[in-house]
Amino acid sequence: MNQITEKLFARGNEFLGTRVPILCGAMTWVSTPQLVAAVSNAGAFAALAGGSMPATHFEAAIAQTRQLTEKPFAVNVITLGPAYHDHLSVLQNNHVPYVIFAGGLPRDTEIAAIKATGAKVICFASTESLAKRLLAYGADALILEGTEAGGHIGPVSLTVLIQQVLFHCAEVPVFVAGGIGTGRLMAHLLMLGASGVQLGTRFAVAKECDVHPNFKQALLRAAAREAQPTGEFDPGLPVVSVRALRNEGTRDFERLQLNLLSMLDAGHISRTDAQAQIEHFWVGGLRRAAVEGDVRRGSVMAGQSVGLVNEEQTVQEIIDQLTQECDQEIARIQCLMRNA
């Protein structure tokens, strides 16, 4: 690895305690203790997905991850999830080195409570205003996630977030995510000021990832254009967009929205209960695809980088390839600059 690459890796590695500043995103039903440990043991960084686990299962998953790796890892909690407050209670009684808040805006008191345990807090930011608010709340680092990502997504592309946030944020490490599938792009993102990159879809097809084979095959066969976001039919029922491969399950969700809107108009359901049903749909849909293998009616969440994923590799092979491609691209740019 050349010296420039090492310098570009330095801030992210120092913050994460890693060899390479590559993060495996937290994916519900996918980022299990086995995958998290494999990524951390390979010199990168991963987050255990809390999802909607009951508190006892969540606590057991943290303990299992600790048994599988001595390297640093994060635990991801979803602010909009039904188990969110239970997860926070578990984390206050079970110290972990890093906690990632995802899915919405955590309270400043919640961030402070987790930091009081000694954990470093990383927060997702999908808009400029959210990034500013999270920094004011005391986030130790940000993950800028563009709308190109898979699963629950924000409204702004990574290229715009880089210009709005990354270019103006020097006080904390900023990691970037959304549509990243190669080390060559990683090199350019680091040169733009990122402290590291996060990938999800590519790690979902790693050999150590124990999702159903049908789920992996669906990702390996898919083109980038097939990973589409869901829409919001009516502002009266706010819906966080989810990017997934379009299938019958996507159409089931559209029918669910229409049914819930009809029930809202008739006064048969509250907006809170309607939103809870939507979140329940996605949790169940993702399990149906990732665990049970029903990729027709289940939710095959994937980012647009799915078009760059074409083979199943070990976690170590993925990390080594990304690192090598990054190093080679930085060397190529150095050569161009010298000859300019």
Whether the per-residue pLDDT at 103 is higher than 90: the answer is no
Angle (CA) 182-187-193 rounded to 5° is 130
Q: Of the given ranges (63-77, 147-161, 251-265, 295-309), which has the lowest mean pLDDT?
A: 251-265
Q: In what order do the strands lie in the sheet with 151-152?
A: 151-152, 242-245, 227-229
Decide if 246 contacts 228 (C-beta within 8 A).
yes
Are both 147 and 243 inside the same structural domain? Answer: no
Q: Does a structural domain hold residue 301?
A: no
Q: Does a structural domain hold residue 295?
A: no
Are both 39 and 174 inside the same structural domain? Answer: yes
Share of the chain above pLDDT 90, in %: 85
Q: Does a structural domain hold residue 304?
A: no
**pLDDT tens digits, one per residue of 224-261:** 999 999 988 888 888 888 999 999 999 999 999 999 99
Are both 108 and 228 inside the same structural domain? Answer: no
Are both 169 and 113 inside the same structural domain? Answer: yes
**Confidence at residue 240, expressed as pLDDT on a 0 to 100 scale:** 83
Q: Does a structural domain hold residue 331?
A: yes
**Confidence at residue 82, expressed as pLDDT on a 0 to 100 scale:** 84
**Confidence at residue 243, expressed as pLDDT on a 0 to 100 scale:** 95
Are both 188 and 41 inside the same structural domain? Answer: yes
Give the domain extent around 241.
223-290
**Confidence at residue 339, expressed as pLDDT on a 0 to 100 scale:** 85
**pLDDT tens digits, one per residue of 201-210:** 999 999 999 9
Whether the per-residue pLDDT at 284 is higher than 90: the answer is no
Are both 19 and 114 inside the same structural domain? Answer: yes
The confidence band for 307, taking pLDDT boundaries of 50, 70 and 90, is: very high
Are both 103 and 228 inside the same structural domain? Answer: no
Share of the chain above pLDDT 70, in %: 100
Are both 230 and 333 inside the same structural domain? Answer: no
Whether the per-residue pLDDT at 340 is higher than 80: the answer is no
**Mean pLDDT confidence for 139-165:** 97
**Confidence at residue 232, expressed as pLDDT on a 0 to 100 scale:** 85
Strands 227-229 and 242-245 come out as: antiparallel
Are both 91 and 230 inside the same structural domain? Answer: no
Task: Give the count of domains, the chain.
Answer: 2
**Confidence at residue 235, expressed as pLDDT on a 0 to 100 scale:** 86
**Confidence at residue 76, expressed as pLDDT on a 0 to 100 scale:** 97
Are both 268 and 133 inside the same structural domain? Answer: no
Q: Which residues contact 320 (CB under 8 A, 6 or more apart)?
A: none
Q: Does a structural domain hold residue 216?
A: no
Q: Does a structural domain hold residue 66?
A: yes
Whether the per-residue pLDDT at 304 is higher than 90: the answer is yes
The encoded tokens of residue 237 equal: 């029922």
**pLDDT tens digits, one per residue of 167-201:** 999 999 999 999 999 999 999 999 999 999 999 99
Q: Does a structural domain hold residue 259?
A: yes
**Confidence at residue 170, expressed as pLDDT on a 0 to 100 scale:** 93
CA 108 – CA 113 distance, rounded (Å): 9
As a whole number, the mean pLDDT across the chain is 95
**Confidence at residue 272, expressed as pLDDT on a 0 to 100 scale:** 85
The confidence band for 149, taking pLDDT boundaries of 50, 70 and 90, is: very high
Are both 191 and 229 inside the same structural domain? Answer: no
Are both 42 and 173 inside the same structural domain? Answer: yes
CA 113 – CA 2 distance, rounded (Å): 41
The confidence band for 275, taking pLDDT boundaries of 50, 70 and 90, is: confident
Q: Does a structural domain hold residue 297?
A: no
Q: Of the given ranges (149-163, 229-243, 300-314), which has the lowest mean pLDDT?
A: 229-243
Decide if 76 contacts 100 (C-beta within 8 A).
yes
**pLDDT tens digits, one per residue of 71-89:** 999 999 999 888 999 999 9
**pLDDT tens digits, one per residue of 107-128:** 999 999 999 999 999 999 999 9
List the CATH number of the domain containing 66: 3.20.20.70
